[in-house]
Chain A
Amino acid sequence: MGYEELLIETAKADERIVVMTAENRALVRTLPKILGNRFVDTGITEQTMVGMAAGLALRGRKPIIHALAPFLTMRAFEFIRTDIGIAHLPVKLSGYIPGFLSDGNGPTHQSIEDVSIMRGIPGMEVYCPADEDDLLRMLPGIWASESPSYTRINHKKGIYTHRDYDPGRAEVISEGSDCTLLVYGFLFGNALLAKELLEQRGLSVGLVNMRSLKPVDEACILRCAQSGGRIFIIEDHLQTGGLYSIVAETFLKHRVSAEVVSLGLKERWFKAGMLNEVLETEGFTPERLAETIAGDLAELL
C-alpha cells in the first residue's frame, strides 16, 4: 500500500472526504475515476482551492487537499490562515516535494519555511513523516482528527520499519550519551545511516524521529537535554521557525539549558540539482552528516 491506496481506502470508507488538488496529480492519479464528483481539481489555483475547501468543510466535508508544498503554504497562505485557521475547519493539507525533495527545481520550488509559517497559525497541526512506512502509520490519525493540519509528504520508501504512531509523540530510535540527533521527514534515513557511521567510531548516539512538530513532544525534547550529550538538529528547513526554533522555545519555556547545534539551512536557498548532488553539496549525505557531527564533538575534547 502507498499514499494513494490509503487515500482511496479512507475516502471510500468516509463520505465526508473530498480529495482536491491544484492540478498536482502525482499523488492522486487514479482518484478521478474512483471518487467521481468527490475528486475536485481546481487547476493552478491554490487560493481558490483552499477557499473552496473551507466552503466544503462548512458543509460538513473533510477535504484532503494537494499541491506543491511551497505554493500550497505560501501562495495560499492567507487563505489557509483566514478561511481554514480562523474557522478551525477540518481541512487536511498535503504538501508535495517539501524541502530537499524539490531537488532540481530551484529556489522558487523550495519549501524550506513551510514548518515555520504553518505552525504559526493557531490550531494548525504540522506533521512530517519520515518515509512511506511512517507516512502510512501517521496519516490515519492525522486524517481522523477534526483539526486542520499540514503534512509534509514524503512518500519515498525508507530503510526502517517504524513503530506505530502515537499521536503527538516522537519516535525514539535510540538513546545516546555522546549526542542526540533530532530529525524529521526525508532526512530521517540519512540521519539513521549517519548514526551508524558515528557508532562505528565508538560514539553513543541517540536518534529521534520527531514525526509531529505541532503538537511537539516536549517531554521527549527535554529528555534529550537530560541525556547529557550535545543535541544536533537536522532539518531541510531554514533555521528560522523550524525544529531548531521549536527546541529553543521548548528549552526556554521549561528553563532548560543544553548544547544545541543546528544542521539546517542558514539564511539562504540551497543549490538545485539531482537529489544526491544536492545532499552532497549541502552536507546532508550520511557521510557528510557523520563527519560534521564527529568534528563538532571532537572540538569538545
Chain B
Amino acid sequence: MDKNETGRGISTETSSPEALKSIALKVREHIIRLSAGGGCFIGASLSCVEIMVYLYAEFLRPGKERGGNPAGVDEKSISRRKNPGRDYLFLSKGHDVPALYGTLVEMGWLDKDRLKNHLSTRDSIYWHPNTNIPGVEFHSGSLGHLPAVASGVALDCRIGGGDNRVVVITGDGELNEGSVWETLLVANAYGLDNLTLVVDRNQFQANIRTEELVPLEPLEDKFRAFGCAVRRIDGHDFEALGAAFEELPMQKGKVNIIIADTVRGRGLPSIEARADRWFCAFSDAEIRELLEELHGNVHARIESETLVVR
C-alpha cells in the first residue's frame, strides 16, 4: 500500500489538536471492533491511544537516508539497519497492540483489511506485537523486556553518533518487573538521554488497581532515585504530550521518564476504570452500542460476562 495515497503518513508539519483527536477517535473505533469475536485487551488499549497517535503522527522522525517512515516499514527485522537514522518506538506493554494496529492503519502503513484477520492463523494480527506487522520494531508480550532492548538500540545510536530518539511505552503494572529498574540503572550509567520511557499510568494492572496490590506511588520519586529525569502529564492531552516531548532530553545524561496519567477504557464510560474490563470479548450488538457510546450517542448496554483471562 502506498502510504502517500491511502494514509496520513509521516508529516513534518505539526497537526492541530483537533486533527489528532480525529485520528484518535478512529483508532478507538478500530480497538472496539477488535474486541469482537475472540476479544482483545481493550481497557489497556484505550488508555494509550493519544500517546501512540501523538508519537506516530507528530514525534517520530523518518530516517534521513530515505524518505521512509520511522519504523522501517516493509523491512524484516534484521535488515532494518537500512534506515538507521530513524527514531524508534518500542511497545513494551504488548497487550495494548490493538491501539498500535489502529494507529498503523490510520498512518497508512497497515492495510485496514488485515484487521479482519484478527486472531486468524493466516495472518499475524494477534494479541501481542510481532514484526510481521509493518511498523513493529520488535515483538513483545513478556513484560519488562523492551526497556533493555531499546537501551541497546539507544546505545548503538550513541556509539554511532546518531541523533535518533528511542521511545518505549511501558505499562504501570509492568513496573512490577525488576528488569525495568535494572535496565534504568544501566541506561543511566551509560547516560542514555536519547531514551524515553512513557509510562501509561492507567492505574490498573491485569485484574486489580496497582495501588491495591503493589503500590507504585510516589512514582516520580522512584524514577528520580534511579537517576532519571521525570515529567508527569495528562496522557490524553495532545498539547501536554507535545510540550513534554518537545523538551527532550530533559536533562543531559539522564533517561527521560514521561508518566502519562490516563484512564483505563478511556472513551467508553460503560467500561472505564474498571478492574473487570481489561480483556473483553463483546457480541456484535455490543460492539454497535459501544461505537455509538464512543461517539457520545448512547450508554452501551453490556451483558457479556467479565473475563479473568490471566
Shortest CB-to-CB span from A209 to chain B, Å, is: 33
Query: CB of A67 within 8 A of chain B?
Result: no
Query: CB of B19 within 8 A of chain A?
Result: no
Shortest CB-to-CB span from B255 to chain A, Å, is: 13
Asked, given contacts A56-B156, A58-B77, A87-B77, whether A47 binds B148 with beta carbons under 8 Å apart, the answer is: yes
- List residues 45-74 of chain A with CB under 8 A from any CB of chain B: 45, 47-48, 50-61
Shortest CB-to-CB span from A248 to chain B, Å, is: 31
Name the prevailing secondary structure of the B interface residues.
Answer: helix
Contact A43 B77 (CB under 8 A): no
Contact B159 A58 (CB under 8 A): no
B183 partner, pick from A18, A38, A51, beta carbons under 8 A: A51
B186 partner, pick from A37, A48, A61, A79, beta carbons under 8 A: A48
Shortest CB-to-CB span from A155 to chain B, Å, is: 27
Query: CB of B288 within 8 A of chain A?
Result: no
Query: CB of B280 within 8 A of chain A?
Result: no
Query: CB of B254 within 8 A of chain A?
Result: no
| Assembly CA distance A53 to B183 (angstroms) | 12
Contact B182 A82 (CB under 8 A): no
Contact A48 B151 (CB under 8 A): yes
Contact B179 A47 (CB under 8 A): yes
| Assembly CA distance A40 to B155 (angstroms) | 9
Contact-size category for A: 20 to 34
| Assembly CA distance A88 to B139 (angstroms) | 12
- List residues 69-107 of chain B with CB under 8 A from any CB of chain A: 77-78, 80-81, 84
Query: CB of A78 within 8 A of chain B?
Result: yes
B190 / chain A contacts, CB cutoff of 8 Å: 40
Shortest CB-to-CB span from A203 to chain B, Å, is: 51
Query: CB of B244 within 8 A of chain A?
Result: no
Contact B81 A59 (CB under 8 A): yes
| Assembly CA distance A87 to B220 (angstroms) | 33
A79 / chain B contacts, CB cutoff of 8 Å: 145, 148, 179
- List residues 155-173 of chain B with CB under 8 A from any CB of chain A: 155-160
Name the prevailing secondary structure of the A interface residues.
Answer: helix
Shortest CB-to-CB span from A61 to chain B, Å, is: 6
| Assembly CA distance A38 to B190 (angstroms) | 12
Contact A83 B149 (CB under 8 A): yes
Contact A45 B186 (CB under 8 A): yes
Query: CB of A86 within 8 A of chain B?
Result: yes
Shortest CB-to-CB span from A76 to chain B, Å, is: 10
Interface 1/0s, chain B 186-228, versus A by CB < 8 A?
1001100000000000000000000000000000000000000
- List residues 111-135 of chain B with CB under 8 A from any CB of chain A: 131
Chain A's closest residue to B156 (CB) is A59
Query: CB of B137 within 8 A of chain A?
Result: yes
Name 18 A/B residue pairs within 8 A (Cβ), A-sorted.
A37-B159, A42-B186, A43-B186, A45-B183, A45-B185, A48-B182, A48-B186, A50-B148, A51-B145, A52-B152, A55-B151, A57-B78, A58-B80, A58-B138, A59-B157, A61-B156, A83-B138, A89-B78
Interface residues of B (CB under 8 A from A): 77-78, 80-81, 84, 131, 137-139, 142, 145-160, 179, 182-183, 185-186, 189-190
Known: A52-B148, A54-B152. 17 other contacts (CB 8 A): A18-B156, A40-B190, A42-B186, A48-B183, A48-B186, A51-B145, A51-B179, A51-B183, A52-B186, A53-B152, A55-B152, A58-B152, A59-B81, A60-B156, A61-B156, A83-B148, A87-B138
Interface residues of A (CB under 8 A from B): 18, 37-38, 40, 42-43, 45, 47-48, 50-61, 78-79, 82-83, 86-89
